[in-house]
A and B are shown apart, each in its own frame.
Chain A
């Protein structure tokens, strides 16, 4: 076996790959056809091998050959294979350009269609450029079928080759008014997709679309158009006004007129409430994002959506929530009043729905309800099953709180305590997220530092976090933040010594390396702080004790496997030992140690580096060192380790080549920044920001409100804050009311202020802490930041093209001249093609004739057999001949099977045959059993039912070309073969004969005669009995079980030919039907689903036969696939005969 595999892979080395094939074809210009047929033979061989790689290579080559070289027959399959397996990276696509072009201009619309469909799957920039003009021509094809496809594929072409947009656009626009609705909707689709990306270029089309919208009856088109208007209205306010009426009508009619309720019985019946059809719901939903700014219609829309959300159908609920979130983006106020409903959805069993609801909540928070919403979410965190959803909740809580630069947080102590509560989540993957928030808040909100430090020291102290250190990105990440905060802001610590001890516990060594590293670094900061305190207080002993603690505990870090930890620890250990010496001499050291960490670290904006303007005269693209000469290619580079460093430098070529590398580095830098407390992250999801971030100058810096306790003993409960906050607000409100009353007394009532509404608005809630959100530092004269948001890689950017400008000559689509010349010459070249075509009908005719002949034959045969039967009738022998053939398969080893497997089919109905003088009825049971590939043993059971003794029996069979009886050596073909026994009356015996069969694809009939002497009281007579041996195709099959996997694989291999029959008027149950097929035709059922079953069998020569049997009401259809089409069609004929009797 192993040897075989080795041999296989060695053989494979000599196989042609695709490139070789293409090269070969080019090198055999003269005898191309011959070369290709040679290759095909090779491919056939390769396909038969077990090695999957060899097979794949073969299929690849075959696909190429069938798409690019051979005319019509295989186009459909070929393109299917190509579209499934080719992609942009497949280098042969380039080579097939000409063939695709030929197919595109094929006279048969279906060939063209197939080519277009295939192309849509594997179009590349090159193909797009070369074929754009051809496809554009097809957009004006006479057949709508082609126009439709051509229009749709243009979108793909635009994406790959943006230059084609301007020249092709006028024609595309024309198609919007195409008489064929299919073409029209295709054009709408394409333009909508284009316009959604760069709407301003398509504003001029608005009137046309408006007309389409009001006239179209096709909901699909309608939805697309509404989507398009959604993109256009923000650019043109007048358009919005014009749309209000038709859109409002649509929403109303979405429930009545527009509702073509799905036909009964269709599986899609998410009939909405009050009979809304799926599509009108779809209209409603697309409306939600394309709604003009008109409060009445928005209200209407939101009301309808509420109906959807309240519906019991989960799909509608989901879609309602989704649509709500779209409206929320533009009209937060009108959605916010449905908060109750959204919160209810958080309890839904379906995660998809909960996630949608969460999304909505994100946009619904205000200063007023943030605490309440987060509290609700926290209870869900506790309840949540499954870590994914819990993690999602966690990120959402953080997103909600941190959005727009913490705009809605009025009390940061509350937020810190929420974060601390979140650390109790075990098994979360978002430890780093919480850590990042802690760092961010502690650094940027100065007022909170004291509180944060107290909480963080408690975290450092608690043991549960340490326990979870095994998981990556687990909750222990929080310790990173805690350690850093406690170190950096150690002046706020209440009991620094205690924290120091906590940070030096032996268990810390189990934490991940990067966290330990932060521990080590911050231990020193803390230590420096303690020294200073003790020295100022004059407690030299206390200071020495701290030093001693450091000297005792640091060695565990020195032994760390993490290099960073080890390095930091050993440096610091030396430093501390030095300090110890100084302390022993009573030298004050605190000042100097603290100087190590003097100065405050300012957060730097992530984009700051990019914003630094390039000083004049500095060319960043210029070489610093001239690159080494090209002759030294990379392969020749010496392997020496130290050389490499030097030689790598010239590889740093300026940008263009290294886009990927840059992206990678950018990513790496982001990662680095995420872990670097000195970087302020841009707020989590800038695009989700619904309001402009207020600048720092808007945030007033005021004193801390001392009504909130700064230290909560133990771990704080965020709930406390909710209560406190309520009280505080209440107080504020009271004060305000007082003031207002006073003011009211002064002012006239006419001037109603916003705040006099019963609900207090956001602006009224003053933050509990005044927050000095430190801005991210930016370099002086930084460049304006507008350009940042545009991604240079956006493929749609290339399609941002002014379409109204007249076409310049240079923009015409490339019509490749030399190819044109080629086509003008082509009549000569095409001659062979024409010939082929003219040949084909002949072939067809031949085939047809053959078929007819076949039919005739078959019919003759059919006619024959009844005649035959009749003849026998006429002979009026009183014998019963029951021809039954049974074949038993023997294992290849040659051992006889334990028992004969009966899988024979009755060849003929029992015939009542009456004998003339002697009436010896007997039965011929014929069993065929397989011995070798092509040898069949036929066992004949002879039963004497007469009163005479039968003896001297001889069997003679007329051989055919295909089947020969194996005779004893020396005997001629015409001699009979003696039956080795005599038969007394009423006795039966079996004789076996071997037949050699050449081909099993056809049924065989052999005529034979049994001659015998019947002896009774009256004397002996010589008699003859004619019989026929019928080797039906079914009898060559052996019942072989097959698993559905293997079955599917077999079908996928694609080397089976296909045929089918249908039989009407069948009333038998499907179960019996299958049993019958199994019994008579030796099949086994692979899988059965309802009234449909797949079956399998194998011939003695190894043909696979797969069947799909389906039962209709009164009919049965059998589809078959087999590695031999003749065998299959014969089998199906036989089966048809069997079924017809059912």
Chain B
């Protein structure tokens, strides 16, 4: 763990609500479940305690945390010391724009309801903590096509779906 803590790029991304409910988490560095829970809890406390006019950056443990609040949701990324905060802020914003485009005036409930889609969009946008494509158009195109593919595939019931129906 210690050795890898110097790894570059984004370490994790969290989405949580003003009430402190975790809505989405993506870890780009293998972290044990217990550690994840602990980190999430601590970080949420720190971020939620900050006032609205304060800046979007803070140092936390050995990480830099970049967060931004959109309506009731906090988007929160942890990056390494060397990385550029502003790019991360821009990344967050890009992601929000992508969500907005995809869901159509996105809100917290969209992410609760279609969390897997939110993950797919994130995966299409960032990979291993690095930007895959800076073009919103191409990300959305990829998502839509993959959605189509999935829908086609799922019409004959997949194993997973049957599970759900059991």
Contacts and interface: CB of A to CB of B under 8 A. Distances in A.
B159 A66 contact: yes
B87 to A, nearest CB: 6
A1054 interface: yes
A267 B132 contact: no
B93 A1051 contact: no
A1125 B165 contact: yes
A218 B86 contact: no
The contact size tier of chain A is 35 or more
A78 B71 CA distance: 31
Nearest to B155: A847
B70 to A, nearest CB: 6
B159 A218 contact: no
A47 B130 CA distance: 35
A1112 B134 contact: no
A217 to B, nearest CB: 11
B110 A1108 contact: yes
Interface in A87-117: 87-89, 108, 110, 113-114, 116-117
Contact of B110 (A76, A113, A351, A1092): A1092
A502 interface: no
A218 B131 CA distance: 13
A844 B86 contact: no
A719 interface: no
A220 B138 CA distance: 16
Contacts of B138: 145, 182
Interface centre among A73, A223, A1044 (most CB of B within 10 A): A73
Interface stretch (A311-319, A635-643, A645-653, A861-869): A311-319
B82 interface: yes
Given A1055-B166, A1089-B109, A847 B160 contact: no
Interface string A331-357: 000000000000000000111110100
Contacts of B161: 1057, 1125
A488 to B, nearest CB: 36
Nearest to B113: A1108
A796 interface: yes
B57 interface: yes
Interface in B48-93: 51, 53-59, 70-72, 82, 84-87, 89-90, 93
Contacts of B134: 182, 185, 218, 220
Contacts of A73: 150, 153-154, 156, 158-160
Interface string B93-124: 10011000000110111101111100110011
B42 interface: no
Contact of B132 (A148, A279, A322, A796): A148
Nearest to A1047: B112
A1119 interface: yes
Interface string A45-83: 001100000000000001001100010111011101001
Given A267-B96, A282-B86, A319-B85, A156 B116 contact: no
B1 to A, nearest CB: 11
A1111 B102 CA distance: 15
Given A182-B135, A319-B85, A282 B90 contact: yes
Interface in B1-25: 2-4, 6-9, 21
A1089 B9 CA distance: 34
Nearest to B66: A315
A1105 interface: no
Contact of A281 (B3, B54, B59, B86): B86
A1083 B85 CA distance: 45
A88 B4 CA distance: 13
Given A182-B132, A1119-B113, A159 B7 contact: yes
B7 A795 contact: yes
A88 B30 CA distance: 7
Contacts of B109: 1087, 1089, 1092-1094, 1108
A1106 B114 CA distance: 12
Nearest to B128: A120
B3 to A, nearest CB: 4
**Is the interface on chain B under 10, 10 to 19, 20 to 34, or 35 or more residues?**
35 or more
Nearest to A281: B86
Contact of B55 (A185, A350, A848): A350
Contact of A43 (B110, B149, B150, B163): B163
Given A113-B146, A847-B155, A220 B87 contact: yes
B90 A268 contact: yes
Contacts, number: 233
A80 B54 contact: no
A630 interface: no
B156 A72 contact: no
Contacts of B82: 196
Contacts of B162: 40
Given A155-B128, A196-B82, A1094 B112 contact: yes
A796 B6 contact: yes
Contacts of A70: 158-159
A66 B160 contact: yes
A1097 to B, nearest CB: 15
A148 B131 CA distance: 10
Contact of A1057 (B30, B108, B116, B165): B165
A1089 B107 contact: yes
A189 B131 contact: yes
B160 A62 contact: yes
Given A77-B116, A87-B30, A796-B6, A148 B54 contact: no
Contacts of A476: none
Nearest to B90: A278
Nearest to A149: B127
A475 B6 CA distance: 33
Contact of B113 (A156, A189, A1106): A1106
A186 B132 contact: yes
A426 to B, nearest CB: 22
Nearest to A76: B150
A62 B160 CA distance: 8
A745 interface: no
Nearest to A36: B159
Contacts of A65: 159
B39 interface: no
Nearest to A1109: B109
A1117 B104 CA distance: 11
B164 A1057 contact: yes
Contact of A1051 (B96, B112, B149): B112
A155 B131 CA distance: 13
Contact of A110 (B28, B84, B145): B145
A267 B89 contact: no
A1089 B90 CA distance: 25
A220 B133 CA distance: 10
B129 to A, nearest CB: 9
B116 A155 contact: no
8 contacts: A73-B150, A153-B127, A185-B134, A196-B8, A223-B87, A281-B86, A1092-B110, A1093-B109
Which 3 A-B pairs have CB atoms at the shortest separation, nearest pair first? A87-B30, A73-B158, A314-B55
Interface of A: 40, 43-44, 47-48, 62, 65-66, 70, 72-74, 76-78, 80, 83-84, 87-89, 108, 110, 113-114, 116-117, 120-122, 145, 148-149, 152-153, 155-156, 159, 181-182, 185-186, 189-190, 193, 196, 218, 220, 223, 227, 266-268, 270, 278-279, 281-282, 285-286, 314-315, 317-319, 322, 349-353, 355, 663, 793-796, 840, 843-844, 847-848, 1044-1045, 1047-1048, 1051-1052, 1054-1057, 1087, 1089-1094, 1106, 1108, 1110, 1112, 1117, 1119, 1121, 1123-1125
Given A70-B159, A77-B116, A314-B56, 10 more contacts: A110-B146, A159-B7, A282-B84, A351-B54, A795-B4, A1051-B112, A1051-B115, A1089-B72, A1090-B107, A1108-B109
Interface of B: 2-4, 6-9, 21, 26-28, 30-32, 51, 53-59, 70-72, 82, 84-87, 89-90, 93, 96-97, 104-105, 107-110, 112-116, 119-120, 123-124, 127-128, 130-135, 138, 142, 145-146, 149-150, 152-156, 158-166
